[in-house]
Copies of this chain bind each other. A is one copy, B any other.
Amino acid sequence: MCHKSPTQNILGSCPVPKIVDHDQRRLELVDATWRTIARLGIESATMREIALEAGFANGALKPYFPTKDDLLTFAFGHVFNRTNERIAEVTAGQSGLVALRSFCVEVLPLDEERINEARIVIPFWQKAINDPGKARIHRDSMQQWIAAMSQHLAEARQSGAVTTAVADPALAGQLLNFLLGAQITAALAPEGQVELGLNEQLEGFLTLLGT
């Protein structure tokens, strides 16, 4: 048996190098999973259908994800990570209300792509209800979000942009639940409807903070 990395193979220590980068293949499969769920819903996202979407036959996913649960857990985790990376990019160098706005705008389902993400995160939540591991993934991410939003609130308060007597933890919690609820609203809106007033709602909330 030969289990060397591609790099080691190039160095010539293994007679037959691996062709496929397993890590990248896993990402491709996660992408196919994502597309399948968005297109058909999680209940129709069978291993066969996902493999087909990825351009393979039935059993081809096996070497990369031993079980379906492995695939789904990895896929959900990846979406979470990507969202958090996007948030980090967008809010980099910002602070206070500006950062808070950027944060929320990035999370809110304001375009088709993020509405699709809402259609994926809801099945995840449903699975998490009876899967403590998945629920944990959710809570950890939300804890991060709360921390980030609290920091931006504190900055905004220091600069005088936030003056309300309502305490920061309550504000951060409100905002978080608003962001989560917006996913529901968007995912269940009529097909193709992207304007749901979410931006006005966000601006309204930020306005309330300064009063």
Residues on A facing B (Cβ under 8 Å): 40-44, 119, 122-123, 125-130, 135, 138-139, 142, 164-167, 169-171, 173-174, 176-185, 187-190, 196-198, 200-201, 203-205, 207-209, 211
A20 to B: closest C-beta gap in Å: 32
- Contacts A174-B204, A180-B184, A208-B211 known; list 16 others, CB within 8 Å: A40-B130, A119-B129, A122-B125, A125-B126, A125-B188, A129-B187, A138-B188, A166-B204, A170-B203, A170-B204, A171-B204, A177-B180, A177-B184, A180-B181, A181-B181, A181-B183
The CA of A128 and the CA of B184, in the complex, are separated in Å by 10
A166 near B208 (CB under 8 angstroms)?
Answer: yes
- Per DSSP, chain A at the interface is helix
Chain B's closest residue to A197 (CB) is: B173
- Could you say which residues of chain B place their CB within 8 Å of the CB of A174? 178, 201, 204-205
Complex contacts, A200 vs chain B, CB 8 Å: 167, 169-170, 173
- CA A152 to CA B150, docked complex, whole Å: 30
Q: Which residue in chain B gives the minimum CB-CB distance to A191?
A: B132
* A125, A142, A184, A197 interface centre (most CB from chain B within 10 Å): A184
Let me know if B130 and A43 touch, CB within 8 A: yes
Residues in chain B near residue A177, CB distance under 8 A: 177-182, 184-185, 198, 201
